[in-house]
Amino acid sequence: MALSDRSRESLLPSFLYTTSAARSFATGASRFPSSPAPAPAPAAVGGGAPISIQAPREKIEMYSPAFYAACTAGGIASCGLTHMAVTPLDLVKCNMQIDPAKYKSITSGFGVLLKEQGPRGFFRGWVPTLLGYSAQGACKFGFYEFFKKYYSDIAGPEYAQKYKTLIYLAGSASAEVIADVALCPFEAVKVRVQTQPGFARGLSDGLPKFVRSEGALGLYKGIVPLWGRQIPYTMMKFASFETIVEMIYKHAVPVPKSECSKSFQLGISFAGGYIAGVFCAIVSHPADNLVSFLNNAKGATVGDAVKKLGLWGLFTRGLPLRIVMIGTLTGAQWGIYDAFKVMVGLPTTGGVTPAPGAAEKALQASA
């Protein structure tokens, strides 16, 4: 059922994502004649009923249920696939954090794993990685879009524009609290599988074995360090990405974002994501060391981790590898997420935000 003009207006904030033209169309659709209906789809082979495929020109309504569903699906694809792809790096990084005497460096770490477990050992734990980070990505991106609009509506157009960075931070933090609840059980099993050879082959046997050993609540013993790692990471990931992309379009691109090709916009999404990922890795690395330590040893505490690793070790152990991994990971995630949004007819994330009221003034001038 089509949305009324009033409900459509209520779904669109004054400045997020949409261009002036798009907002003008949304607020003044009744002034323009409707576009011609797309040609009917050809009949399926064999004389069956035609397959209905949404025409590319039919955009998903911003902040409608379909919009949030698309962002959730994009988050699943971006986080699940990218984390699974870097499983070898994650495996070496976790073992360097747990046993630095054995895994002295990135190169030697790969050599030890190859010698002891063969090439297949590099992807140990890929199933809990894929499922856990798919669940996390669904909540992270879907709820970020929801909370970003929610806090923008509370602030109002003027303050939402003025304090947009605070809105990015609050929205991403709120989303990550929920996302980590979905991730935590998978993360616990993943770390145990990756750092204790012989514990389990993967998720199917590792999850029940973990529960028998430490109980169902044991799956969440790392939730606080996980929040400590992921919430600052995600706040940096989203706020810095939005800021970096806006700066690129404002200072480095000679034409407005709306005039750039989609492939060029996706390239900016990847570049902005990679730079944001470097900041993310630095901010969240101490908590990442804690998560690996706590999930590896039964009954371990934060005090045990600090005593064994030391404060300097918490901040630096495995950091170079994690910068490479998280930078690549974050860049790829934003590239995939925005590519999915483009595929379903949504604009890419970020860009120069117009001043409040600019769209309305432009509409009045063109009337």
Between CA 234 and CA 168 the distance in angstroms is 10
Residue with tokens 């261009």: 19
CB 279 within 8 A of CB 236: yes
pTM of the model: 0.72
Architecture of domain 60-220: Alpha/alpha barrel (1.50)
CB 96 within 8 A of CB 112: no
Give 179-218 pLDDT, tens digit per residue.
Answer: 999 999 999 999 899 888 789 888 989 999 999 989 999 9
Helix (H/G/I), strand (E/B), else coil: 197 = coil
Query: Buried (b) or exposed (e) across 158-186, using 16+ Cβ within 10 A?
Result: eebbeebeebbbbbbbbbbebbbbbbbbb
What pLDDT score does 353 carry? 57
- Please give the Cα distance from 28 to 16 (Å, whole number): 18
Q: Which residues of the chain fall short of a pLDDT of 70? A: 1-58, 297-298, 352-367
Helices (H) and strands (E) in the chain, counts: 14, 0
Each domain of the chain, given as residue ranges in start order, spans: 60-220, 232-348
- Rounded to whole angstroms, the Cα distance separating 111 from 27 reads 61
Of 122, 108, 91, 322, which is closest to residue 192 (Cα–Cα)? Answer: 91
